[in-house]
Amino acid sequence: MAPKTLGELFDAFEREAFRLETLDDYSKSGNTEAYEAFLAGEPQPSDYNEAWVTELLSHTSQGRRIYRVHVLTRPLTPYLRFELGWGYRKNMTGGEEFFILDTTERPNPLEGVPDFWLMDNLTPGVMNYSGDGAFLSADMYPAEHAEEFRAYRDTAMAHSVPFTDWWSEYGE
């Protein structure tokens, strides 16, 4: 029987998991205590995001690719400074790859495209968030929608740059 939830799909993917992020604020979706510590100017704890890094390593150590593109504009919101500065840099230690599609000085080629995961090029999961950045649900789409989401992924990758290159120029 095929997995039905995003979590089950993430546990079962065989080759690659792609994520498109389009929001400037996911502060109500994850570790709010870490975000508050970041805002207070506290140093990043050495064990920050360790559970996710372990999850990443369980996949990437077996040759599976996990990568994402974040569509954003500058100046960065406080949340994006946190996500990129603490999250992305830490998650890279688990083998996750990050790319930035910066639309500060150009049109967004993915205007209106929602956040999503695409597993093994076959199964899209559209992420739903509230206006204040709280994760609400994931809608799993049938395989006949995969081509549309592969095109979104390909557009995102064609217009993005590796995070480390972007961060070295614009990171804070």
Average pLDDT over every residue of 80-98: 96
pLDDT value of position 90: 95
Residue among 87, 57, 49, 48 nearest 167 (CA): 87
Residue among 126, 12, 21 nearest 59 (CA): 12
pLDDT value of position 35: 93
For 6-170, which CATH class? alpha beta
Q: What is the pLDDT of residues 104-142, one digit of tens each?
A: 999 999 999 999 999 999 999 999 999 888 999 999 998
Q: What is the pLDDT of residues 22-70, one digit of tens each?
A: 999 999 887 889 999 999 999 999 999 999 999 999 999 999 999 999 9
Q: How confident is the model at residue 151 (pLDDT cuts 50, 70, 90)?
A: very high
Above 70 in pLDDT, residue 3? no
pLDDT value of position 172: 67
Domain boundaries, the chain: 6-170
Are 103 and 73 in contact, with CB atoms under 8 Å apart?
yes
pLDDT value of position 92: 97
pLDDT value of position 37: 95
pLDDT value of position 30: 79
Q: How confident is the model at residue 1 (pLDDT cuts 50, 70, 90)?
A: very low
Residues 6+ apart with CB under 8 A from 25: 77, 79, 80, 132, 133
| Chain length of the chain | 172
Would you say the pTM of this structure is higher than 0.75? yes
pLDDT value of position 43: 95
pLDDT value of position 5: 87
